Each structure stands twice: as structure tokens, then as C-alpha cells.
Amino acid sequence: MRLSAKGRYAVMALVDLAKHSDGQPVVLADIAERQVISLSYLEQLFAKLRLAGLVKSVRGPGGGYLLGHGADETRVSDIILAVDEPIRATRCTPGAPTGCSGSKTRCLTHDLWEELGNQIHLYLSSVTLADVVAQRVLGLSGVVHRASRGVVESEPERDRAVLTQ
């Protein structure tokens, strides 16, 4: 399963906003430059994010965007859903009269992919912008990645144990 650019860019942009705002509005052009995303595409995404209440716009000199809620209250799943990105792994349309296979039945692996979509949604619902900014979502893969780059940061005991093995 792949998440489209729309969902990924929206999350990247709001993580950037959370990281760089310090209570002050952030100009979209700055986010676009730092994240290498088209400014016009960001404007389209932020219109949807504003309608969902995830960001607030500030007009005038020194204007830009602020988070609509605290970074610790903004869930990644809410961002993805706000830009009309469904979180599912099946090729069926939920509630459609026909099944995955084009006939009136579901494919043999439908339940597997549907549950995967549910698990992805649950996981993304458990992660906030604050978690991403603070790099609290790396898990074991992040520890191994940082160790391979020779970066040793202050990590919980569990992570230090992995680095010494």
C-alpha cells in the first residue's frame, strides 16, 4: 500500500509548521522551500487543512499559518483525512455493492487488506505532530538508522541496549 503525495506532503508541511512556528505564523513559501514542495500545491493543501480546522491563517505583514490546535493534539490521521486521502489497503470502495474482484463477491484476501488498512489508521491516529517533531516514532528502525550513521543521541534504555549489541 502506498500513501499518495497529497497525504505525505500534507503531513510533511504540518510537521514543518509545528517545528518552525514558535507561536509565530509561518509563510508557506518557507515551508515549500524547506520541504521542496510546490508552493501552489501547498496552497491547495492548506486550503483543505484550514477548512478542517488544522491550521489558521494570519493575514497581513508577518502573516502566514499557525496550527489550529497544539502539535500534541494534531493526529497524523486527521491530516491525511483532511486532504481527502483515504486510509485503506483494499481496492474496494467501502459500502459498494460490488466486491473487489468486479463480481459481486470479495476477493480471497479482502479481510487481510481491510484489517491492514484498519491497523494503519489506528497507528496514524496514535501519532501526533509533536511525536514526529520530537522523533518519538522511530522505533527500532530509527535506532538502527542513527547507529549506522554514527549518531548516538540520548535515547531510552531500550534503545541504548540495541546500540551496544
pLDDT (tens digit, 9 = 90+) per residue, 79-111? Answer: 999 997 776 677 766 555 566 666 777 778 888
**How large a percentage of the chain has pLDDT more than 70?**
72
CA dist 11 and 6 (Å) reads: 9
Pair 84, 48: CB distance under 8 Å: yes
Helix (H, G, I), strand (E, B) or coil at 37: coil
Closest by alpha carbon to 16, among 39, 34, 4?
A: 34
Residue 157 has pLDDT above 80, yes or no: no
How many C-beta atoms surround the C-beta of residue 107 within 10 A?
16
Please tell me the pTM assigned to this model.
0.76
List Cα–Cα distances, 152 to 94, 135, 143, 149, in angstroms: 45, 14, 9, 9
Give the rounded distance of the alpha carbon of 100 from its chain centre: 27
Pair 12, 41: CB distance under 8 Å: no
Residue 76 has pLDDT above 90, yes or no: yes
Domains of the chain: 5-90+97-134 (1.10.10.10)
pLDDT (tens digit, 9 = 90+) per residue, 108-128? Answer: 888 888 888 888 889 999 999
